[in-house]
Amino acid sequence: MKEHIVKEEMILIDYLRKEFTKLSKNNIKSLLSKEMITVNNSVQTRYDYLVKKGDKIVIRDTKIKVKRYQKDINIIYEDEDIIVINKPAGLLTIATNKEKEFTLYHFVSDYVKSKNKNNKIFIIHRLDKETSGIVIFGKNQKTKNLFQNNWEKNIISRNYYAVVEGTLDNKEGTIKSYLTENSEYMVYSTTEKNGKLAITDYKVVKENRNYSLLDINIKTGRKNQIRVHMKENGNVIVGDKKYGSNVNTINRMALHAYKIEFYDPRTNKKVSFKTSMPTIFNKLIKI
């Protein structure tokens, strides 16, 4: 188990393919999923994890036995009723028919049960698998209902960073349309009669010849809302294969939910949670 020292910042899978030329992309993903790769002595399962100069990487000979809650859990805030997580890209918020175990819900559930086997968690809201950022879970049914029943009423702002392809003629604006979904789970704009209202505010923070970094505030929370509005505006989000992106130099979709502000229904006081922009976004937006 030779230790490898990273010499320059890059995505983990790119580093492994460079250092271990005999390993295919699928080989590497298999090693990651089997928990056989560590970064700085911690198990890493994310192929899009950003390794930095000086990081120590080891490929183990056997699977490492770790509890699931040790993986991919970045706790922003926790109290007796809620837990706020910074979800990584590429991880489902909750289970689907195709994936039951490898979800943020299961990892957070394992974490709270490690403190008390009777502890539970309840989903309050979710993010797309491809999107990283803030997700809030309740620790009891009462809290879940309290938050969900007043969600749209209590929300003040939901902010995202997105890197999109190309530049925008209007550096600041609002995109408004009615969205619906077809049988293939593709969301698109339609008429008021057939869709649900979606409103997206955006502002260009930085741009170069190829990409634009946007600060986005959604006024409604429709499925794939930002992704659809950016595509229909002519500026698909980098890495969003579902909606037509052919660019994926950072091995993830460049969308991150970095801030949420709302009136806490337990106290009626204004609360805000915030995370920083993923550093890998800078790879695209350097000028």
pLDDT tens digits along 32-71: 887 788 888 777 888 888 888 888 888 876 554 444 444 5
Q: Which residue has the higher pLDDT, 152 or 83?
A: 83
Give the per-residue pLDDT at 150. Answer: 87
pLDDT, one tens digit per residue, over 178-234 is: 999 998 889 999 999 999 999 999 999 999 999 999 999 999 999 999 999 999 999
| Delimiting residues of CATH 3.30.2350.10 domain(s) in the chain | 67-149, 156-287
Give the burial class of 115: count Cβ atoms within 10 A of its Cβ; 0-12 exposed, 13-18 middle, 19 or more buried.
exposed
Mean per-residue pLDDT of the chain: 89
**Angle, vertex CA 250, rays to CA 74 and CA 47, nearest 5:** 55
- What's the pLDDT tens digit per position in 104-120? 998 899 899 888 889 99
DSSP characters for 46-88? Answer: -TT-EE-TT-EEEE-SS-----GGGSS--EEEE-SSEEEEEEP
Q: What is the mean pLDDT of residues 134-140?
A: 97
Question: CATH 3.10.290.10 spans which residues of the chain?
Answer: 3-64
Domain 156-287 in CATH: superfamily?
Answer: Pseudouridine synthase (3.30.2350.10)
Does residue 86 have a pLDDT over 90?
Answer: yes
Tokens 């077809």 identify what position?
Answer: 182
DSSP three-state, residue 213:
strand
CA 25 – CA 160 distance, rounded (Å): 30
Contacts of residue 180, defined as CB under 8 A and 6 or more positions apart, other chains included, come to 187, 188, 190, 194, 195, 196
CATH 3.10.290.10 fits 3-64, yes or no: yes
DSSP string computed for 131-167: -EEEEEEESSHHHHHHHHHTHHHHEEEEEEEEEEES-
Please give the Cα distance from 215 to 228 (Å, whole number): 16
Which 8-state DSSP code applies to residue 11? E
Distance of alpha carbon 80 from alpha carbon 249, whole angstroms? 41
Query: What mean pLDDT is predicted for residues 254-259?
Result: 98
How many Å separate Cα 232 from the centre of its chain?
Answer: 22
* Torsion angle of the four alpha carbons 243, 247, 253, 258, in this order, in degrees rounded to the nearest 10: -110
Q: Give backbone dihedrals phi and psi of 169, rounded to 5 degrees, phi first.
A: -65, -45
Question: Is the pTM of the predicted complex or chain greater than 0.85?
Answer: no
Judge whether residue 255 has pLDDT over 90. Answer: yes
SS3 188: strand
Which H or E run contains 192?
none
Instruction: Tell me, rounded to whole angstroms, the distance of Cα 101 from its chain centroid.
Output: 17
pLDDT score recorded for residue 65 = 42
Architecture of domain 67-149: 2-Layer Sandwich (3.30)
Question: Which helix (H) or strand (E) element contains residue 178?
Answer: strand 172-181
Label residue 267 by pLDDT band (50, 70, 90).
very high
